[in-house]
Amino acid sequence: MLTVGDYVPDFTVQATSGKNVQLDALKGHQIVIYFYPKNNTPACIIENQDFAANYSRFRDQNTLIFGVSRDSLDSHESFKASQALPFELISDQDSALCTLFGVLKEKQLFNKPITTLARSTFLINHNGRLIKTWRDVSIKTHVHEVIDYVERYHTKITAALTTVQTPEID
């Protein structure tokens, strides 16, 4: 499982719109990857809509957004269209990304163990390093916490890159 400070290993996964998402090809951008349990469920609709409503704020911070669940690509295409999502959804039917990010958890349903996906979000910086995690999140405030953090982080990075120190002259 990845922890803050780790470089995220390169991966290539299938996403909506017939796209393959390769992490290394996205260097230079910050990446928000959020995991949600299932398309077309009330809480997941709210979370996806919140990310969509704040999409331009994320883009203004050079940040790409990807939603991930274990639903099929066909289910994702339908969900993306019905919700008018402006970003791609990644299908993780083999749970490879879920395992990498450590978002699978066991719980009991009718006295039988099941593996479910814990609602979680990860921020990867422009160099591919994991810099922030949000696990088992509340959908009511979560997206605003993420965008606020992204904006503060981007401002800090931009300031560091644009600060030019002039040498002192005696």
Residues involved in catalysis = 44
User: Which secondary structure element, helix H or strand E, spans residue 120, and what is its range?
Assistant: strand 120-124
Residue 68 CB partners (closer than 8 Å, separation 6+): 33, 34, 35, 36, 89, 90, 92, 97, 98
CA distances from 39 to 3, 49, 103, 115, 156 (A): 27, 12, 17, 17, 35
